[in-house]
Structure 1
Amino acid sequence: MPDVRVLRPGDEAALDAFLATYAETSMFLRANARSAGLTDRGEPMQATYVAALESGRITDVAAHCWNGMVLVQAPSHAAAVAREAVRRSGRGVTGFSGPWDQVIAARRALGLATVPTTKDSRDELYLLDLARLVIPPALAAGAVHCRHPEAGELELLVEWRTSFSVEALGAPNTPDLRRASRADVLLQHERGADWVLISGTRPVAYSVFNAMLPEIVQIGGVWTPPEHRGRGYARSVVAGSLLAARKQGVQRAVLFADPTNAMARAAYLAIGFRIVGDYGLVLLAH
């Protein structure tokens, strides 16, 4: 049996070396550990990290995050590390994220396999080498442009984030959701990870880098309001953000999306992404 223990400050290099071998499916784990460290005080981006080690080397990791999500990169011992991470954090579980089979194993180990969910999806995992990024014609011609949002636009983005959570994640539209949406919008803005597409003078689409490393970014929360759909705005906001990232030396981008969303799939494939695997996202009903 492996040695299962909590990771502490000083374990960062070993953790990142392990996760880098699964780079496309470890973005939340790597980015959060780099930005917030391995100490868990329940603050944004923090988590309790638990690893399985064999002969002193990390083979599996689970993190129970400040927001209740359980993140896994655990090819061999997902059940053991997930159980210990949740036990040691003392928090409730709100969902799971990671490679699909590992999400299933972690959820079952915690006795949550039959708990109702608002989202239970085996998403498609997309990867793009930014040297192969295809620029949408409207963006290339300057008919639209991409930038970070301004302070006066953040309340609009709270509305959009709330609508995204209802439509894409199955969340109930409650005051709690609006509060959570505002906190998320402000956090992404503070991190410089948010992007809007501008047509004329109006924002028409929104996207974030929900995990960022110097060489790779992960895209999430892509949203075009219904009244602006069908005009290629989603692909343009994603492509515009990646153009900016490429100028900063970022080499690759990943994202995961529901396979039933044909419009999203078409948008991502059109700008050069390819499907390389799967990724699990489970959100428990409260």
Structure 2
Amino acid sequence: MVNLKTLQPGDEVLLENFLLQHTDTTMFLRSNWREAGLLDEGARFQGTYVAAIADATIVAVAAHYWNNMVVVQAPVYLAEVVQAVIAQSNRVISGIAGPAAQVKATKQILGLANRPTQLNESEILFSLALEDLQIPPALALQQVQCRLPHADELDLLSEWCAAFNVEALGKSATPDLLPACRHEIEARQATARHWVLVAKDTLVAYTAFNARLPDIVQIGGVWTPPALRGKGYAKSVVAGSLLDAKSQGVKRAILFTNRENYAAQAAYRGIGFRPTGEEFGLVIFKE
């Protein structure tokens, strides 16, 4: 017999024991609950979590977060946890993320299969044990430097963030995009979750962690301005961020990228990332 439960403070071990069985596809779920707990008061990283429980063990979970994203890890009872979390959260749905097949099924379950999307992808999931990280020569020889951004660089990084959202996530360049990006960049700055690459005193590339745990990080938001591409800057900025993480005890890194983005795949392979064999689904609906 399966029971549905809205998770509350005190259920953290129960949740983590389940998520650890699906490490590579649950970085958002694991990182978010650790950042913000299981209460849902609408703050950054908070969400409502509904789990299916059989024999006192979680076997499926869906979360609906502060940013209106639905995130799933439900190899069984997908419809039950998804419908329950939407009924409970009282939020609109801006997108869906999780294992690719589950994301596709969730669209059907919620009657959103025909809703227009700005992004609808099954992305290749890559993993890297940081002991196998290959340092690009330019970074090793200190021809470029990777570091945390300075406060006076946040305006430029906000513009880069907006450009990334338009190019990579299919967002429209509306008047509220840049302020939203500034807010996101400031939040990353406050928690030291992002890095820049500097060549001859000029910022040339950017990366961030969109999920972070003590032993594993997930890379997102990698950006090189179009005029500066093809110079290996993306490899160096990602490698530099991972060297920083490794120095703090992180053992592994995860990322996902578009199947058709061959340049990004080559860059990530060039520093040691390899496909896990799984695909990560990401849907963002048009606003």
If the length of structure 1 is used for normalisation, what is the TM-score? 0.98
Following TM superposition, by how much is the alpha carbon of 1:187 offset from its aligned partner in structure 2, in angstroms? 1.4
**Secondary structure of 1:76's partner?**
coil
**Secondary structure of 1:75's partner?**
coil
Matches within 5 A, 1:63-74: 63-74=63-74
Is 1:204 equivalent to 2:182 in the alignment? no
Q: Which residue of 2 aligns with 1:38?
A: 38
Runs of 4 or more, structure 1, over 3 Å off, are: none
If the length of structure 2 is used for normalisation, what is the TM-score? 0.98
Q: Which residue of 2 aligns with 1:125?
A: 125
Following TM superposition, by how much is the alpha carbon of 1:105 offset from its aligned partner in structure 2, in angstroms? 1.6
Is 1:282 equivalent to 2:283 in the alignment? yes
Q: Which residue of 1 aligns with 2:82?
A: 82
Q: Which residue of 1 aligns with 2:92?
A: 92
What one-letter code is carried by the residue in structure 2 that aligns with 1:59?
V
Q: Which residue of 2 aligns with 1:11?
A: 11
Q: Which residue of 1 aligns with 2:158?
A: 158
**Secondary structure of 2:176's partner?**
helix
Following TM superposition, by how much is the alpha carbon of 1:87 offset from its aligned partner in structure 2, in angstroms? 1.1
Deviates more, 1:176-185 or 1:85-94: 176-185
Residues in 2 aligned to 1:208 and 1:218: alpha-carbon distance in whole angstroms: 9
- Structure 1 residues not aligned, in runs of 5+: none
**Secondary structure of 1:21's partner?**
helix
Following TM superposition, by how much is the alpha carbon of 1:274 offset from its aligned partner in structure 2, in angstroms? 0.3
Deviates more, 1:120-129 or 1:195-204: 195-204
Residues in 1 aligned to 2:69 and 2:274: alpha-carbon distance in whole angstroms: 27
State, as a whole percentage, how many aligned pairs show the same letter.
50
Is 1:252 equivalent to 2:252 in the alignment? yes
Following TM superposition, by how much is the alpha carbon of 1:186 offset from its aligned partner in structure 2, in angstroms? 1.3
Residues in 1 aligned to 2:92 and 2:72: alpha-carbon distance in whole angstroms: 16
What one-letter code is carried by the residue in structure 2 that aligns with 1:36?
A
Cα pair 1:188 1:210 within 8 Å, conserved: no
Residues in 2 aligned to 1:84 and 1:207: alpha-carbon distance in whole angstroms: 35
Q: Which residue of 1 aligns with 2:263?
A: 263
Following TM superposition, by how much is the alpha carbon of 1:179 offset from its aligned partner in structure 2, in angstroms? 2.3
Matches within 5 A, 1:168-247: 168-247=168-247
Residues in 1 aligned to 2:190 and 2:6: alpha-carbon distance in whole angstroms: 29
Residues in 1 aligned to 2:226 and 2:60: alpha-carbon distance in whole angstroms: 41
**Secondary structure of 1:120's partner?**
strand
Residues in 2 aligned to 1:280 and 1:88: alpha-carbon distance in whole angstroms: 23
| TM-superposition CA deviations, 1:225-275 (whole Å, max 9, x none) | 011111000010000000111111100000000111111000000000001
Following TM superposition, by how much is the alpha carbon of 1:176 offset from its aligned partner in structure 2, in angstroms? 2.1
- Over the aligned positions, Cα root-mean-square deviation in angstroms equals 0.8
